[in-house]
Amino acid sequence: MSIKDIYAAVLEFDSDQVVKLVKDEISRGTEISVILNDGLIGAMDEVGRLFSAGDLFVPEMLLAAQAMKAGLEELKPHMKQGDSRTKGTVVIGTVKGDLHDIGKNLVAMMMEGAGFEVIDLGVDVETERFIQTAQEHNADMICMSALLTTTMPEMGVTVETLKEKGLNFKTMVGGAPVTKEFADQIGADGYSPDAPSAVEMARLLISA
């Protein structure tokens, strides 16, 4: 029953309650992966669904993610390999010359919430750094964000460089001026118009 309560507490943005309930479940001997997947990640999936439907707004997504993270911190010391992080590893950042990171941060947060390992390189990330980091962490995917029309072409540079080097990290692009057509044109594997659909797209691409 209590897993449902964790799920509910995340949806109520109640960090204290999430922490308390996660501790209870751990001491009760509930499997860590169940707490994580059915409780925390399940709740964030619902948050994503509600956000896409327009029922939840950005501040609610932020608060839910904070509550989820608080629970995750409690779980971490108890996690063994295989309990989590099975969804995949993602390298994310805004492209070279672009300092606008609100959208990128939302995507990173939602992906973490959905159980991905997220390596956030922050802003103004050069192609080389994207690729190097992806190689170091054996990542599944590189996600690039841009707000400025002038920095968008950098996305194409990264995709092109990956092809030249014969590396097959998946790529996903997004940001206010980025469109599906643009993504297709530069040969990116995925495009998403908002944070929750970025999570969906990541699942699709990585499981493919």
Q: Which of 76, 85, 86, 102 binds another protein (CB under 8 A)?
A: 102
End-to-end CA separation in angstroms for the chain: 34
Stretch that binds another protein, among 9-17, 54-62, 80-88, 118-126 (CB under 8 A): 54-62
The β-bridge partners of 74 are: none
| Of the candidate residues 31, 34, 57, 73, the single one contacting another protein (CB under 8 A) | 57
Here's the x/- map for another protein, 187-206, by CB under 8 A: it reads as: -------x------------
Determine, following the binding rule CB under 8 A, whether residue 166 of this chain makes contact with another protein.
Answer: no
Tokens of 96: 């070279």
Region near another protein per CB under 8 A, out of 1-9, 51-59, 88-96, 164-172 = 51-59
Q: How far is the CB of 33 from another protein (least distance, A)?
A: 33
**According to the binding rule CB under 8 A, does residue 53 interact with another protein?**
no
Nearer to another protein, 150 or 168 (CB): 150
Contact 39, 54 (CB under 8 A): no
DSSP 148-173: STTTTHHHHHHHHHHHHTT---EEEE
C-alpha–C-alpha distance, residues 131 and 183, integer Å: 18
Joined together, the tokens standing for residue 130 give: 């994207």
Q: Which stretch binds another protein (CB under 8 A): 15-23, 31-39, 57-65, 92-100?
A: 57-65
With contacts defined by CB under 8 A, name the span among 19-27, 53-61, 74-82, 156-164 that binds another protein: 53-61
Query: How far is it, in rounded angstroms, from Cα 145 to Cα 175?
Result: 5
Q: Does 54 bind another protein (CB under 8 A)?
A: yes
Residues numbered 11-50 forming contacts with another protein, rule: CB under 8 A? none
Q: Which of 149, 165, 167, 168 binds another protein (CB under 8 A)?
A: 149
Of 176, 2, 5, 195, nearest in space to 116 by CA:
195
Q: Are 118 and 207 in contact (CB under 8 A)?
A: no
Which of 59, 77, 82, 166 forms a contact with another protein (CB under 8 A)? 59
58 contacts another protein (rule: CB under 8 A) = yes
Compute how many other C-beta atoms are within 10 angstroms of the C-beta atom of residue 95: 27
Report the alpha-carbon distance of residue 40 to residue 15 in Å, rounded.
11
Is residue 172 within 8 A of residue 208, CB to CB? The reply is: no
Chain residues that interact with another protein, rule: CB under 8 A: 54, 57-59, 102, 149-150, 194
